[in-house]
Amino acid sequence: MQTLDWAQLDNNRMNRQLWVWLILAAAAWLMESYDIGLIGVVLVPLHQVWHLTAPTTGLVVASGTLGVALGVAPAGRLADRWGRKKVMLFALVEYSLVTLATAWSPNWHWFVALRFVAGLGLGAMFPLPYTLLTELTPKHARGRVAGILDGFLSVGYFLAPLAASLTIALWGSAFGWRPLFWAGGLGLLLAWLLAHHLPESPRWLALHGKGGDAQEILQRATGIVPITEVSIGTIGDPPPRKHVLSRGMTHRTIMLWISFPAILLIFYAIMTFMPTILHQEGVPTEWVDRIAALIMAASIPGKWLESWLVEKWGRKPVIVGFSLLAAIAALAFPLAHSLSGWIIIGLAFAFFGIAVDPAMKVFAAEQYPTPIRATGVGIAEGWARFLGGALAPYLMALWLENGGIAVSFDFVAAVALLGALAVAWLGQETKGQVLESVEYRPVPSVARPIQ
């Protein structure tokens, strides 16, 4: 019986087939990020239409992200059991249908409920594209692929305020926000494309006794047809009942549970509240969404730079450096008192604060062995979405209403610093790591990188 030569994949180049799979997975994230990005741009019109108070604003902001937080961890577990692709498709269909229904919300109560339900599917989607691509991509390109993949998230976040500036200008605040959610139905078409053209992870297939299917995908990925049996790079089953807090995994898991939510808060502060902050500072309504889109767009070249640096410098230097620069921008933002100042600092804030995310994600995926990779990533990202994406933004909504911008952004800066310190002190470099070398063993030293 033929075993699988993972070295063929790890040493492969990024060929046409891999780029096609990357674009398909990226399209799923683009649809998701557009969906999530809508909450920041509809917040102002919903304030005007439904006369939201500070607590109800917090519920509107946090409802979708709370659903995301609750949907991420189970999805990771299911992806380890049922497969990455199958759970991705289910999640995409679920949140596309519910987003479409959100367009007909009669009041904020229905809006909050539907955003929560959509968030469950959005959360299920979040960890899977980069988990799947991590297991399909050569080891020398995993960080670069994660950066490119994550760049499509920023495109979606950019498209949301851009689309809002057009629809709300055309139909007004009372109705113009609704067509933005109709576009969520396009995810159903994308689900059909993924079902027919995106493969399952060959590493997952091999682990579940489907070596023939795994070999077929390896041949498509590498273009190499095996002639004889090989014996290197096979996956062995781990000891039973191992999990993310087993001996040898605990150190890595705790590091992720501190750093992931801290760094993710930077993104949510920009995506959710930038339109509201600009509106509070007196920026004309017709310019708010366009400026927010411009600021969000700065993360796209930021991720392009990150995708190069993360393979040149490594994961830890990029995560720590970008987080620290984002924290400085957060401290500086409240000190600006002009439109040009807000734009310049906002661009720097997004360039570093959102561009750090793909490095964090591939770093998380490289912490765990294949049998629990999606589970570990799912739990870490679920915890991150709950703390950094639901609880902290809910508090920020109250602080912006009662304490002002300075208190809120000082909080963001302090949390970003905490995340940077957690990675610097507890993290172990994973650049160029062979995924099959990740074992259930204690990390030998926080100061010594994996070779």
Over its length of 451 residues, how does the chain's per-residue pLDDT go in tens digits? 345 667 777 887 888 899 999 999 999 989 888 988 888 788 888 988 998 887 888 788 878 878 888 888 899 889 999 999 999 999 999 999 999 999 999 999 999 999 999 999 998 898 888 889 888 888 888 888 888 888 888 888 888 888 888 888 788 878 888 999 998 889 999 999 999 999 999 989 988 888 888 888 988 888 776 544 443 344 444 444 467 877 778 889 999 999 999 998 888 888 778 877 888 777 877 788 788 888 988 998 999 899 999 999 999 999 999 999 999 999 999 888 888 898 999 999 999 999 999 999 999 989 988 888 888 888 898 888 888 877 777 777 777 777 678 888 888 999 999 999 999 999 989 888 877 666 554 444 444 433 3
Cβ neighbour number for residue 282 with a 10 Å cutoff:
7
Cβ neighbour number for residue 328 with a 10 Å cutoff:
17
Buried b (16+ CB within 10 A) or exposed e, 286-312: eebbbbbbbbbbbbbebbbebbebbbe
Could you give the angle at the alpha carbon of 434 between the alpha carbons of 428 and 436, nearest 5°?
105
C-alpha to C-alpha distance for 164 and 334, rounded to whole angstroms: 26
Farthest-apart Cα atoms in the chain, separation: 70
Residues 6+ apart with CB under 8 A from 292: 40, 41, 161, 274, 275, 278
Residue bearing tokens 């992931």: 260
Please write down the HEC assignment for all residues of 371-382: HHHHHHHHHHHH
Residue 94's closest CA among 76, 67, 73? Answer: 67
Query: 438 φ, ψ to 5°?
Result: -75, 115
Residue 121's closest CA among 86, 60, 182, 75? Answer: 75
- Residue 140 DSSP class: T
Q: Does the CA dihedral 225-227-232-234 come out positive or negative?
A: positive
> What domains sit in the chain, N to C, each tagged with a CATH number?
6-437 (1.20.1250.20)
Per-residue confidence (pLDDT) for residue 236, from 0 to 100:
43
Query: 245 φ, ψ to 5°?
Result: -110, 15
Per-residue confidence (pLDDT) for residue 5, from 0 to 100:
67
